[in-house]
Structure 1
């Protein structure tokens, strides 16, 4: 990717995070970069193309974090590290989650990809759950579809914690990030074995 595209994406990310995608026009992006609108459209014909490029950046970075965690023996410490890494990236690209509904309704390419991506993420979640179960850290299901619902909670909390923080505190900060990381991680605590709970508490201290 050439440097002009890199600069466009970096400045667009900052503008989208600050003002929201609805309030940022191609003209505003061009003015911020001190380039002509024609130069901008040469690299990205529509604002939606910038949105797609930033979305793809996030997906690629999150995939690296997840695959790195799953490529080795998966312990609760792996889940802590992975969750912190993912939520930090979500914070970096927070406009996607603050404008989630608008983005999905207005950008069909992102919506289609996101739908397929969630199927992959669900498979990765259950791979991690089975690893924890095999390692004696998480108990077997006691209710029908118990871990299906746990996945749903993880997904909802992960995708919408930023919107919750924005509307409850008026601003999304690193302090919010730390709090909601714990909100999400502690969702798994009731499902842990005695050994798993001990390891979980040790992870909290580290």
Structure 2
């Protein structure tokens, strides 16, 4: 029974990614699996329940996007956080493509994701404060607001795929095709101290060596 339930989740996610959450019916999922709709609704009575379960998978996959405790955290952790989140977005494309509509149509389900996002932004602030205390980021002052920076970094990473879909990437070099990482670094660089910028260059140089090998 557990395997059937997981198969339903996997099939539904694939169809949602392909056609969009609102364009796929319970019957289509059942037909794709070659089971009866009744068999499917035994496990998930409504699509909303499927959405809630898939959201749980997304939140579970995001759990390891944390700040390590008790050890020195390099600026590379900044990149790893966003790369991990970007891979989750790719795996559950429908969720992030439709997230604004899902929030309107299924507010009770999406409340948990909103709460988790708030906690994630709080953790981002802790990471920024750590980088300030270790002289990698400039101290906050009247001209520097990390509250705004964190929010803007989140927006870029959260809606990168959506914004990319509105640009003909074959005819422009305006955006990096693989991920938002370069754009995110460009947003962060003006806030780096001399020590932070040196560390940044070392990290990027190491990445280039890995790509060539």
TM-score (norm 1): 0.89
> Aligned with 1:63: secondary structure?
coil
Determine the structure 1 residue equivalent to 2:7. 7
CA gap of 1:170–1:17, structure 2 versus 1, over 3 A, is farther
Contact persistence 2:137–2:192 (CA under 8 A): yes
Offset at residue 86 of structure 1 (A): 1.3
Render the CA deviation track for 1:145-186: whole Å, top value 9, x for unaligned. 710101110121122111111222489xxx966341221233
Determine the structure 1 residue equivalent to 2:59. 59
1:102 paired with 2:101, answer yes
Determine the structure 2 residue equivalent to 1:127. 126
Distance 1:145 1:51 in 2: 39
Offset at residue 188 of structure 1 (A): 1.0
Distance 1:103 1:88 in 2: 20
Distance 2:4 2:116 in 1: 29
Determine the structure 2 residue equivalent to 1:46. 46
Coordinate RMSD, CA, aligned: 2.1
| Bigger-Rg structure (1/2) | 2
Matches within 5 A, 1:162-201: 162-169=161-168, 178-201=178-201
Matches within 5 A, 1:48-87: 48-64=48-64, 66-67=65-66, 69-71=67-69, 72-87=71-86
CA gap of 1:32–1:121, structure 2 versus 1, over 3 A, is same
Gaps of 5+ in 1: none
Gaps of 5+ in 2: 208-213
Render the CA deviation track for 1:112-131: whole Å, top value 9, x for unaligned. 11332222112100111111
TM-score (norm 2): 0.87
Q: How many residues align?
A: 201
1:16 paired with 2:16, answer yes
